[in-house]
Amino acid sequence: MLADPSEIKIRSYLPKSKCFAILNSGNILGACVVKPLDANTHELMNIAIQPSHQKCGLGSALLKWVIEFYRKYGATQIVVGTGTFGYQLAFYQRHGFRVTSIDHNFFVNNYHEPIFENGIQLFDMLRLTLKFTNNVA
Ligand SMILES: CC(C)(COP(=O)(O)OP(=O)(O)OC[C@H]1O[C@@H](n2cnc3c(N)ncnc32)[C@H](O)[C@@H]1OP(=O)(O)O)[C@@H](O)C(=O)NCCC(=O)NCCS
């Protein structure tokens, strides 16, 4: 829920998704949830690292692992949406994601409660895509 404050929404996409986790002696330090949209496109729905273990490189390692998994799986692209245009945007861009569109008012239209991050209300969702150029559909 660090990445998505709506438990209802998380529960709605979990059954159709693959979940990747970083485990340390049975403790989950981080998780990433990816849902298939069609045979070639997968959406990164959620990625989060326990606050006590953030900024140690785990998030980057997890994202890299997931990207390689889908590259080998034969996917042509991974998409992700983010409402935070801060360090998370750089986090995805550093791994090759490019901005493809903006979903205006996504967060006010899809969540019952307003969402704030660093005191700023989230309105619009930025959609990013990582294309695997060597995997042809
Ligand atoms: C986004 C997240 C998964 C990144 O995982 P992480 O393990 O903290 O990231 P890393 O240690 O691999 O660092 C990746 C980069 O993000 C930066 N970063 C991580 N947390 C940061 C923070 N709170 N503030 C500023 N920069 C931060 C790191 O400095 C690093 O930058 P660099 O590559 O220039 O050194 C993690 O911060 C998190 O769980 N955030 C809350 C949930 C969230 O926002 N998920 C994404 C939703 S779009």
Q: Which pLDDT does position 86 carry in this prediction?
A: 87
Residues within a 6 A CB radius of ligand 1: 2-3, 47-49, 54-60, 82, 84, 87-88, 91, 94
- On average, the pLDDT of the chain sits at 94
Beta bridge partners of 92: none
Say yes or no to pLDDT of 137 above 70: no
With beta carbons less than 8 A apart as the criterion, state whether 68 and 31 touch. Answer: no
Sign of CA dihedral 22, 47, 8, 98: negative
* For residue 123, pLDDT beyond 90: yes
Residue of 1, 28, 46, 87 to mutate, ligand 1, most atoms within 8 A of C-beta: 87
Reported residue count of the chain is: 137
Task: Copy the structure tokens of residue 18.
Answer: 């693959």
pLDDT above 70 as % of the chain: 97
pTM above 0.75, yes or no: yes
Q: Which domains does the chain have, with CATH numbers?
A: 7-131 (3.40.630.30)
Percent of the chain with pLDDT over 90: 90
| pLDDT tens-digit readout, 96-117 | 999 999 999 999 999 999 999 8
pLDDT in tens, 24-60: 999 999 999 999 999 999 999 999 999 999 999 999 9
